[in-house]
Structure 1
Amino acid sequence: GVQSWPDGAMYDGQWLDDQASGWGRFLHADGDVYEGEWKANEAHGSGMYGHKDGSRYVGSWKNDKQNGRGVEVWRDGTRYDGEYADGQKHGCGSAFWAKGATYEGQFHHNQLHGEGVYSWEDGRRYTGQWVANQMHGRGVFEWPDGRRYEGEYTDDKKHGHGVFSWPDGNSYDGQWREGKQHGVGTSSFGADDRRKGEWENGARVMWLS
């Protein structure tokens, strides 16, 4: 059956005990539309929600919220394919941004959180741990020119112990603070030339050996 509201909203579908239940299509007053399964007046099961601006979600619903597996596509081409819980990206998923960046890994309440791989459009890549959309914990950061950092991060910055290597074979193995070499570390210049030193805010203060 069909029911219309004064504001222009309309439901066309199946009913049970005077409630939308089964398959139906609901046109919102603002132009958004949901088409799919219903249970007791709520989107529940499989369905598609299309926004007036062209973005859309296709997937599972529970109690009127995205829940389970789904695919969300925005009008600029940004796309998320993965798990949802209580209306939020939550669990494992893949995100593809319009400008070319990608992320594949774990989400927690709409944020990059847990283990994941983020690739930038310019070829940089980070593989490791995330907390609240930031590189945090252990990870590996690789640049397209061959530079590589493997170690600890805090709030998106190298912090703690890490090893940075350059394409020419040189490397630094030591302490970092807020993205810069800071503390004691060992510089290697080729296979047999290693020197231990002390750094402060990215600058070497002295050689220790």
Structure 2
Amino acid sequence: MWSAKNEVRNGKGRLIETNGDVYEGDIVNGKPHVIGKMNVYTGGSYDVGFINGTFHGKGRLVTDMGNVYVGDFVKGKMHGKGRITWTNGEFYEGDFLDNNLTGKGRFSYDNGSVYEGDFLDGKHCGKGRLVTAKGDSYVGDFKDGNMHGHGLMTWVDGGSYEGEFVDNERTGRGRMVLKDGTVQEGNFINGRFIGEEVPDSDTFTGHGKRSFDNGSVYVGDFVKGRMHGEGRLTAPNGNIYEGDFVNGKRTGMDKLIWPDGDVYEGEFLDGKRTGKGRMAWTNGDVYIGDFVDGDRTGNGMYVWSDRTTYEG
């Protein structure tokens, strides 16, 4: 609640807020209006436009801690284009949304690092470029302030890494060139190169190879340590499955090849032939139709090698 000094309600005057804030400038209907200066009881100050008692437009804000904001205000909040400088020397210049660093901007840190790119609620989030004081740089995806997604890291010693990152760590598929020219291409976990072989863990996401204790070998996509996506699984008995995996199981329209050359192409559910499919034997017989749990069940057509046909 504003209180007018000397009962001034319109014109030039001085207003005092109940919390101790003091405004000096133009007054309309007992409220700050247009351009004025407000000294905040905690020690800061505003030099900004006012509309109906709320600072609005382009202006300057100095907090009680000495931090300075120069830029746009909307309904009393930093909103639009602006620059904020902290007492430790750090500064941000770019977009603001409801007092938050949100949008495109550039942040210069007291340790010499500079980030330029997307911000969300004060954190690096989206596409951006980070350069450290010694000259190392990262260009790529950010999430919650961390390097997260796909990006390119370049070191001043000549080394580089391009690939996937998770929470600032090289994790996933990538290609690393060491300063001596050595190339490591394959999978990384927490910054460590592991090649094509994927460890038995619930964290790896990417493309790789895993050998199981039972003798099976899988080459393909992983999500959180499980076979998920396109892949090829070779069983100990020589059977080969090529196609889609969902949460570690064969699911979708895919192919199963036996060591003797028999081939099934069709639908799978939870690792079993279930749905529509085509089975071809090396002796020339062919079945096209329904399968349930790996068995021919339902409607279908069986064609023998001599072209005799049964349908039903």
TM-score (norm 2): 0.57
The offset of 1:111, in angstroms, is 0.7
Equivalence for 1:43: 55
1:25-174 alignment to 2 at 5 Å? 25-174=37-186
Aligned residues, how many?
188
The 8 Å contact of residues 22 and 39 in structure 1, kept in 2 or not, is answered as yes
The offset of 1:4, in angstroms, is 2.7
Q: Equivalent pairs: percent with the same residue?
A: 29
Q: CA RMSD in A?
A: 1.9
The offset of 1:180, in angstroms, is 1.4
Higher relative contact order (CA 8 A, sep 6+): 1
Q: Is 1:181 aligned to residue 198 of structure 2? A: no
Q: Distance in 1 between matches of 2:183 and 2:195?
A: 16
The offset of 1:184, in angstroms, is 0.3
The offset of 1:7, in angstroms, is 5.5
Unaligned runs of 5+ in 2: 1-12, 198-207, 211-312
**3-state secondary structure, aligned to 2:171:** strand
Q: Distance in 1 between matches of 2:126 and 2:78?
A: 21
Q: Distance in 1 between matches of 2:51 and 2:182?
A: 63
Unaligned runs of 5+ in 1: 186-196, 200-209
Equivalence for 2:304: none
TM-score (norm 1): 0.84
Return the letter of the residue paired with 1:43.
F
**3-state secondary structure, aligned to 2:84:** strand
Larger gyration radius, structure 1 or structure 2: 2
